[in-house]
């Protein structure tokens, strides 16, 4: 009798153990999508990224362009990794906030709920452990990257135009992304009522990094990752 009891306890233990293993396997980690700002003349940079860290990493990515041209269409037929943002602005450091905002809109409409979404540049190279580091810090309100003007010990709840993550590589959680695109984008050159201090709009500083810092500062309650 005693042996039977021990046997049944052992069987129950195994069932619990297998259940825990099954549940752990069923819990899927979110995908990480990176939009890479690209310009036509930097084809060699894109090729270098495709052949190195993008090839070997688990990041899902798209190169982000202002608008389609025959050259871009030809490159996309070859690789299928380009998205046009239909940007109103072209040129260096002009309307980069709009590009970032439209990338977030695209992500919100096309990627699974709960994904992590980021932005990078075509001269960026990711270390082999970056994907795992991002996932280890996964949070629906995460704001991940290298910070400007941030003291090591300081926990940031409300970033700003100045105190914010560098746009060379930045990732945010799904909750923050959806809250960003709930408010309309604006550029001061188009709308005279568009001001940096207005929390009801997504003001474009012409820099993706400082624009995002401003937006998340208005939103608040971020989970800062240094």
For residues 23 and 113, what is the distance between their CA atoms, to the nearest angstrom? 20
For residues 161 and 205, what is the distance between their CA atoms, to the nearest angstrom? 8
CATH code 3.40.50 for 29-225: no
Task: Report the pLDDT value the prediction gives residue 80, as an integer from 0 to 100.
Answer: 97
CA neighbor of 212 nearest in space, from 202, 221, 222, 220: 202
Task: Report the pLDDT value the prediction gives residue 21, as an integer from 0 to 100.
Answer: 43
Q: Which residues pair with 143 in a beta bridge?
A: 172, 224
The DSSP bridge pattern shows strands 82-84 and 60-65 to be: parallel
Would residue 49 be called left, alpha or beta, if left means φ above 0 and alpha means ψ between -120 and 50 degrees?
alpha
CA neighbor of 144 nearest in space, from 212, 52, 69, 61: 212
201 touches 219 (CB < 8 A)? no
Which regions of the chain are under pLDDT 70? 1-27, 150-155, 226
Task: Report the pLDDT value the prediction gives residue 170, as an integer from 0 to 100.
Answer: 97
122 touches 63 (CB < 8 A)? yes
pLDDT single digits (tens) 31-47: 999 999 999 999 999 99
Task: Report the pLDDT value the prediction gives residue 5, as an integer from 0 to 100.
Answer: 61
Task: Report the pLDDT value the prediction gives residue 20, as an integer from 0 to 100.
Answer: 43
Task: Report the pLDDT value the prediction gives residue 164, as an integer from 0 to 100.
Answer: 93
Task: Report the pLDDT value the prediction gives residue 27, as an integer from 0 to 100.
Answer: 60
Task: Report the pLDDT value the prediction gives residue 67, as an integer from 0 to 100.
Answer: 96
Task: Report the pLDDT value the prediction gives residue 23, as an integer from 0 to 100.
Answer: 41
Task: Report the pLDDT value the prediction gives residue 92, as an integer from 0 to 100.
Answer: 73
Task: Report the pLDDT value the prediction gives residue 15, as an integer from 0 to 100.
Answer: 55
195 touches 210 (CB < 8 A)? no
pTM: 0.85
Task: Report the pLDDT value the prediction gives residue 188, as an integer from 0 to 100.
Answer: 92
Task: Report the pLDDT value the prediction gives residue 134, as an integer from 0 to 100.
Answer: 96
For residues 160 and 149, what is the distance between their CA atoms, to the nearest angstrom? 10
């Amino acid at each position: 009798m005693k042996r039977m009891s021990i046997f049944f306890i052992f069987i129950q233990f195994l069932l619990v153990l297998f259940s825990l293993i099954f549940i752990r396997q069923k819990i899927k980690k979110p995908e990480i999508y990176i939009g890479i700002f690209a310009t036509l003349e930097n084809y060699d940079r894109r090729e270098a990224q495709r052949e190195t860290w993008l090839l070997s990493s688990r990041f899902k990515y798209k190169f982000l362009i202002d608008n389609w041209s025959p050259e871009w269409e030809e490159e996309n037929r070859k690789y299928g990794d380009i998205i046009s943002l239909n940007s109103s602005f072209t040129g260096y450091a002009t309307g980069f906030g709009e590009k970032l905002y439209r990338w977030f809109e695209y992500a919100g409409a096309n990627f699974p709920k709960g994904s992590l979404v980021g932005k990078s540049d075509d001269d960026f190279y990711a270390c082999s452990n970056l994907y795992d580091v991002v996932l280890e810090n996964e949070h629906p309100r995460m704001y991940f990257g290298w910070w400007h003007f941030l003291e090591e010990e300081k926990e940031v709840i409300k970033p700003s135009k100045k105190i914010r993550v560098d746009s060379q590589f930045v990732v945010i959680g799904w909750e923050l992304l959806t809250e960003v695109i709930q408010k309309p984008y604006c550029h001061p050159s188009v709308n005279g009522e568009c001001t940096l201090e207005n929390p009801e709009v997504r003001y474009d500083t012409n820099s993706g990094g400082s624009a995002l810092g401003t937006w998340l500062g208005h939103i608040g309650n971020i989970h800062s990752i240094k």
